Amino acid sequence: MRADRSGPPHYRHPAARPPAAGRTRRASRLTDERLETLREAAAALAVATVHATGALEWLLGETAAVLAPLSAWHPSIRTPTPEKITDAEQAVGRLRQALADVAAA
C-alpha cells in the first residue's frame, strides 16, 4: 500500500485533466459560469415554487424541470451539452419575460 495515499500512479484528479479536444480553458470557464448562473436560477425557482399556487406554480415548475438536469452537474462527471445549457437559458429568459408581462398587466 502506498503511504502517500494519492491513489494509483495513473490516477489524476478530475480537475487536473486537460480541457477536452477543441475546448479552451476560456470556453470551459464560460461554460462553468453559465452553469453556475443556471444552478442559482434553479435554486430560486425551487424556493419560489414552494410558495406559489395555480398557474404560477405550473410555470415555475415547468422551468425548474428544464433546469433539473443541470443542477446536478459536476465537472468530474461530464459537462452538459451546449444545447441543454442554451435550452435552460432560454427557459429562464421566457420565464423572466412572462413574469415581467404579468407584473406590467
In a domain, 81, yes or no: yes
In a domain, 71, yes or no: yes
In a domain, 85, yes or no: yes
In a domain, 7, yes or no: no
Alpha-carbon torsion 58, 59, 63, 64, what sign? Answer: negative
Q: Which domain holds residue 72?
A: 24-104
In a domain, 8, yes or no: no
Which amino acid would we find at residue 8? P
pLDDT in tens, 32-89: 888 888 888 888 888 888 888 998 888 888 888 888 777 666 666 667 788 888 888 9
Domains in the chain: how many in total? 1
In a domain, 51, yes or no: yes
Among the listed residues 70, 8, 77, 5, the one whose alpha carbon sits nearest the alpha carbon of residue 38: 70
Q: What is the pTM of this model?
A: 0.62
Q: Which single residue is written with the C-alpha cell 464560460?
A: 30
In a domain, 2, yes or no: no
Q: How many Å apart are CA 38 and CA 74, to the nearest integer?
A: 13
